[in-house]
Structure 1
Amino acid sequence: MQALKGIAASNGIAIGKLKLCVKLDDKIAKKPITDVEAEIKRVESAKEEAEAALNRIYLDALKRVGEENSMIFQIHIMMLQDDDFFDAIKDCISDEKVNAEYAVWQAAQQFSTMFAQMDDEYMRARSADVVDISKRLLSCLDPNLDSGLDSLKEEAIVAASDLMPSETVQMDKSKVLAFVTEQGSKSSHSAILARTMSIPAVVGLCDAFSSLKDGAMTIVDGSAGDVIIEPDEATLKEYEQKRDAFLQHQKDLQLLKGTKAVTKSGVEMEINANIGHPSDVEMVLENDADGIGLFRSEFLYMESDDFPTEEQQFEAYKTVLEGMKGKRVIIRTLDLGADKQVPYLNIPKEENPAMGYRAIRISLDRKELFVTQLRALVRASAFGKLAIMFPMITSVEQVKEIKELLNQVKADLKAEGVAFAPDFEIGIMIETPASVILSDLLAKEVDFFSVGTNDLTQYTLAVDRMNPQISSMYDPRHPAVLRMIQMAAENAKKAGIWIGICGESAGDTELTRFYVDIGINELSVTPGTVLELRRTVQQLD
C-alpha cells in the first residue's frame, strides 16, 4: 500500500482501477515525408475538423457546466484560428520535411513555452490552452492520439499528467469514477469543471505521480487530497464506509428541498443559483434554489456571429423569468472583454485585458449596444420578478449614467405602449477595491450589492488565479478580502439595502458563518451546491 498526497480539488470518494493515460510525448513519432503539400493539406483539414468539434463541445458544455465554465472553448476556437500558430506548423513541415503530427506538437511546445514566459498574467494562462487545442488537432490527424477519455469502456479512475478542459468536460460521468493529475491547482479550469460535474478529483501530485500504476486498485479522496495505491483490506473497508457515508449524505440533502436556510437562532439566508444559459433553469429548480442570483447574459453574444437583437435577448430573458415562476432572477448586463472575447466587438489587443476595456466600460462606451440590452431586460420584467445587475463598477458617476439611460429606456417603452414592471430592483457588483471603498456612496444609488469574490480577490491581492506560479497566493479567505466584504456589508446595512455574494467563495462552507455574522443576506452558487449550503446554514448556532 502506498499513500500519496495532492491537492483536494473536488469532493467525493472513489474506489476502482486506475487508467493511466500515456503522455503524448511518448506517442508522437518524427517521420520523414516527401509530399509537403499533402501534409499541409492534412493539417488544414484537421483544423476544420477541430474547429467543428470545439463548437460542438462548447454548445454541449453550455448545457452541462454553464456559461462561465464553457467560455474557455470559445477562447480555444479563436486560438485555433491564429495564423502565427499555423504558419509555425507549416514551416516545420516544409523546412524539416516531417509529418504533420510531429510539426503540430513542436509548434505546441514552442508556443506554450512562449506564453508561459510572458509577463502578462492573462497571456501566461494561455499556455495550457495551446496544449489543449494541439491535442485536439492531433486527435483529428490520428485517432490513435486521442486520449480516449470520452469513450471509456469501463469504470475507472483516470490519471493523467494534466487534463485539459475539453477532456474534462467530455468525460462520461457514468464511467469516470474520479481523476488525479500530476499538475494543476484547485483553481484550474479542469478542477472547477470537476466540481461543477461532481467528479471527485485530486490534482497537483507532482513527483508522486510517477508512483501510479495502470490497472492498480486505487482510492481517491477528493475531499482530503489523498490517493492510495493498492490499499490493504482494512484501509479498503474504511474508505468503502466513507464512500457510502458520503453517498448517503448526498441522499439526505434531497430531504432539505422545500425548507429554508435559517440558522438555529433564526437568521434567514437566501440561497440562489448562478447560471449562464436558459437551459440551466431546470438544474436550478431541481436543486430547489430560492431564485437566480446571477444570470450571465454573455451567452447571447458568445453564441452569435453578430450582435444579438433586442428580440433575441428579450425572448431569452423572458424564458428564464417565466421558468422561475415568480422567484427573483438577477440578470447581469454583458460582461465581455478580458478572457471573454467575441470577434465582432473588435476589441484591440490589450497588454492587461483583465483591467482593460471590459464589462460596463464597453456598455457605457457603446451605448447603442447597451440600450438594446436594457430595452430587452425592461420588457422582460413584465414576465417575472426581475432584478438587473451591472458589473465592474468603479464610480458613482457610472451608476448615475446607467440610471439615466435606464430611465430613458422606460420612458421610450411607455411612449410605445410596451408593458413592463415599474418597480424592479437594480444593483451593482462589488468586485473592485474602488467599489468597496465607495460602497457608502454607491449604496445610496441602488437596491442591492452582489459581491463578485473571484475578481475582488484577484484585484485586492494582485494575483492571477490561473497563473500556476502564484495560484497558491490566490486566497478568497485572505483577511484583506474578508475586510473588503465586511466593509461593503456594513455600508449596505447602513443604507438599508441587501447584499449578496455571487463569486465562487459563496459556496465555501468555511466562510458561511462569517457571511452570516457580517450581515450577508444572500449567497448565490452553482445549482449543485444549493442544498449543501442550505444544510450548513441550518446547522449554524
Structure 2
Amino acid sequence: MQAESSRPEIRLQGTAAAPGVGRGPAYLLLQGMAIVACQKVPDVEAELRRFDLALEATRQAITKLRQEVAQSLGESEAAIFDAHLLVLDDVALIDDVSKEVRATGFNVEFCFQEVVQRYIDIFERMEDAFLRERASDIRDVTSRVLHHLLGTRPAHATMAARQQVVVARDLTPSETAGLPEDGVLAFVTEEGGRTGHSAIMARSLEIPAVVGVKGLMEAVQEGDVILVDGETGAVVINPTGATLEGYRSQELAIRRRRDRVMLEIALPDVTSDGEGFALQANIGGPEDLEDARLYCAQGVGLYRTENLYLRLDAWPTEAQQYEEYAEVVREAKGRLVTFRTLDLGGDKRLGDLNDEANPFMGYRAIRLCLDRPDVFRPQLRAILRAAALGPVAVMFPMISGIEEFRRAKEVLTSVADELAAEGIRPKERIRLGAMIEIPSVAAVAEDLAQEVDFFSVGTNDLVQYLLAVDRGNPRISALYEPAHPAVVRTLERIFKAARQHGVATAVCGELAGDPVWAPLLIGLGAHELSMAPPAIPEVRFVLRHSTKDELVQLAQRALALSECAAIKALLADYSATKLKLR
C-alpha cells in the first residue's frame, strides 16, 4: 500500500468506462502540439519532399499499429485507425499545406501545423458528433506527422507508466494502444465518454478506466496517488488510509469475482432452473474468432461487414468479400454466423459519404444499399456463397418500416435465385432479420414480426434516437440514459411483439455485454445477447445464477418504475448480488 500523502484527499466523479479498481502513483501524460519554430527554407521543393516522406512514415507506423491492435485486441478495435489513415490521404488538406509552403516559403512543420489547426477549429465548432470526433483523429495524426518531421518521439512512446495510473486530458486511440502491456494500473481522463474509442479499447485491454472527470488536470499533481474505481466512476486523489482500507476489500472481491466467473466460462448457457439463452460474439473480421472461441461464444451474433470496406477504404469486390466471409463461416465450425449487411454512414464513412450535415439520420445502411444495387448485390452474393459452407443468418440495419424490409428481402431473393441457377445453394435455410434501431420500426414491431425470422435490437442507436440525444456531444451526453423508462418500455414492446409471433429476439448493442443490463434484457424476453467476447464471462455468470422467474420479476419491477435513478439502482443491486459484490 502506498504511503498516505500529506496533500488532502480529493474526490471527483466521472463516467465508469472499464470495470475494476486500480490505484498507484499518477503519471501525467502531457499532451498537445509540438512547439514548432517558423523559419524560411532555401528549397521549397526539398521541403515538400520531406513532407511526403513524413506522411509515408506516418502511414507505415499507423498501419503497423493497426495490425498489432488487430492481433492483440481484434478487428473491431483495429478499425478505429482506419479514420487516421483517411486523414493522411485527405487531398484537400495535403494540397493546402503544399500551397502554404509555396506561398510563404516557410518550413513545412510550421505550415502543416497552421493548416491543420484551421481544420481542427472548423471541426470542433460543428454540431455533428462524428465530425467533432474527427478533430481528435486529425490531432492524433498531426502529432505523429510532426514528430516524424521534427525527429522526436511522441509522449506515449517514451513514457515510463508501468505500475502507474495514467492521467490525461483525453487519450487518443494511438495513445491507448501504446500503453505498456505489462502494467498500467488504470487510466483516467478529463474528457471523453463511455462510448469513445479510448473507453472501448480500455475494456478490451481490461484496464480499469474512468472518463469525463471534470477538473481532473487541475486537481492532480505529479506524484499524487490516484485511486480509479471503474465500477462506479469515482476517482480519489491522495486517498486516506481509511479510504484505501475500504477499497482493499473491494479490490479483493473483484479479483475473487473474476476468478469465480472464469471457472464457469465453458458451462452451458442456461439459467439455474434450466431455461436456455445464448451468448454470442460481435466481431469485425476473422481475427476476432479466436476471442469468440476463448470465451465460448455460441456463434456470431453480429458480423460487422462494413469493417472490410473501411480497411480497404474502397468498395470491395464480390471476390474480396467472399474470401473473408467464407473464412469466418469455415472457422465458426458449424456455429451460426449472423451477417449485418453494410452499415456505412453515421460514424463510419467512405468516399462520398462525408458530406452530410446529419449523417446519423442520413444516407446510410439499408438506405444506401437499396439505392446502390451495384454495392448491395455483390455483398449479398458473397454472403450467400459463404452460406454454402455453413449456417448463416442475414440482418438488415437501419430498417424504418415494413416496406424497407420487403424491398431488401426482394433483392436477397433475387440474388439467391441467381446463385441457384449457377448451382450455388446455402447449406441450411438462411434466417432473415431486421435490426430494431429506429423508433418508427419499434412502433410497428408487431407488424414487422410477421415478416421476419428474428429481431436484433441495436441499443446504441435506439437509445440515441428515442431520447433525441447525441451521445457524442459532451454537453448533453449525460442525457444519454438507457435506464430511461421510455427505453425500458420500448424494449418490452419489441420483445412482446416478437413473442406473440414466435420470432426470436437478440440484442447486439452495448447493453447486451453489461452484466447490469443483461438480466433485464432476458427478463423482458430476449433470447440471445451478442457482445464483445471479453464481456461474455460475467454476463454468463449472472444469468446462470438466476432463475427465469427472478429475471421476469426484475423486468416487471423495472417496468413499474418511472425514474432513471430508481431503475439503475434496481439493476445494479441485482447484478451485484449475483456477482456477490453485496
Do these two structures clear the TM 0.5 threshold for a shared fold by scoring above it? yes
Q: 1:148 offset after TM fit, Å?
A: 2.6
Structure 1 counterpart of 2:326, from 297, 303, 318: 318
Distance in 2, Cα, partners of 1:170 & 1:22: 15
Please tell me whether residue 421 in structure 1 is matched to residue 427 in structure 2.
yes
Alignment of 1:231-242 (within 5 A): 231-242=239-250
Unaligned runs of 5+ in 1: none
Q: 1:30 aligns with which of 20, 33, 37?
A: 37
How far apart in 1 are the matches of 2:508 and 2:161? 39
1:153–1:388 CA distance, 2 compared to 1 (3 A): same
Name 1:267's counterpart in structure 2.
Answer: 275
In structure 1, give the amino acid aligned to 2:21: I
Assess if the C-alpha contact under 8 Å between 1:150 and 1:170 holds in 2: no
Partner of 1:247: 255
* Cα distance in 2 between the residues matched to 1:183 and 1:99: 33
Unaligned runs of 5+ in 2: 551-582
- Displacement after TM superposition at 1:110 (Å): 2.9
Asked if 1:290 is matched to 2:269, the reply is: no
- Correspondence for 1:478 among 481, 484, 507: 484
Query: Are residue 523 (structure 1) and residue 529 (structure 2) matched?
Result: yes
Specify the SS of the correspondent of 2:312.
coil
What does residue range 436-475 of structure 1 map to in structure 2 within 5 Å?
436-475=442-481
Q: Deviations over 1:395-447 (max 9, x none)?
A: 21222222222223332322222242242211111111122122112111111
Could you list the per-position Cα deviations for residues 248-271 of structure 1 after superposition, in whole angstroms to 9, with x for gaps in the alignment? 322222111232343345433211
SS at match of 1:476: coil
Q: Give the Cα separation in 1 of the matches to 2:535 and 2:160.
A: 28
Cα deviation, residue 237, structure 1 = 4.8
TM-score, length-scaled by structure 1: 0.91
Deviations 1:376-406 (A, max 9, x none): 2222223222111111111212222222222
- C-alpha contact 2:284 2:303 (8 A) present in aligned 1: yes
1:71·1:340 contact (CA, 8 Å) conserved in 2?
no
Paired position in structure 1 for 2:436:
430
SS state at 1:144 partner? coil
Equivalent position of 2:11 in the other structure: 4
Moved over 6 A (4+): 94-97
Mapped contact 1:6–1:203 kept (Cα < 8 A)? no
Per the alignment, in what secondary structure is the counterpart of residue 155 of structure 2? Answer: coil
- Taking structure 1 as reference, are residues 386 and 34 closer, same or farther at Cα in structure 2, changes over 3 Å only? closer
1:83-122 alpha-carbon deviations (Å, 9 max, x no partner): 4434554566567766544444444433222212123343
Picking from 371, 375, 379, the partner of 1:369 is 375
DSSP 3-state at the match of 2:277: strand
- Going from structure 1 to structure 2, the CA distance change for 1:327 and 1:150 (only over 3 Å counts) comes to farther
Work out which of the residue numbers 265, 288, 294 in structure 2 matches 1:257: 265
Question: 1:12-60: per-residue Cα shift (whole Å, max 9, x none)?
Answer: 12233322122335x5143434436254443332222222222333333
SS at match of 1:24: coil
Question: How big is each residue's C-alpha offset from its partner over 1:508-532, in whole Å with a ceiling of 9 and x where there is no partner?
Answer: 3332332122211111111000011
3-state DSSP of counterpart to 1:271: strand
Paired residue secondary structure (1:303): helix
TM-score (norm 2): 0.85
Residue 78 (structure 1) aligns with: 86
Does the C-alpha gap of structure 1 residues 327 and 151 become closer, same or farther in structure 2, counting only changes over 3 Å? farther
Letter in 2 for 1:21: L
One-letter code aligned to 1:126: R
Paired with 1:366 and 1:115, the residues of 2 have a C-alpha distance of 29
Q: Which amino acid aligns with 1:174?
A: D
What letter is aligned with 2:229?
D
1:378 has 2:368 as partner? no
Residues of 1 paired with 2:42 and 2:11: CA distance? 49
- For residues 223-250 of structure 1, what are the alpha-carbon distances to aligned partners after superposition, in whole Å with 9 as ceiling and x for unaligned? 2223334444454454444333322322
Q: Could you tell me whether the CA contact under 8 Å between 2:156 and 2:179 is conserved in 1?
A: no
Call closer, same or farther: CA 1:102–1:184 in 2, change over 3 Å: farther
Q: Secondary structure in 2 aligned to 1:125?
A: helix
Percent of residue pairs bearing the same amino acid type: 38
**SS of alignment partner, residue 155 of structure 1:** coil
Give the number of aligned pairs.
Answer: 538
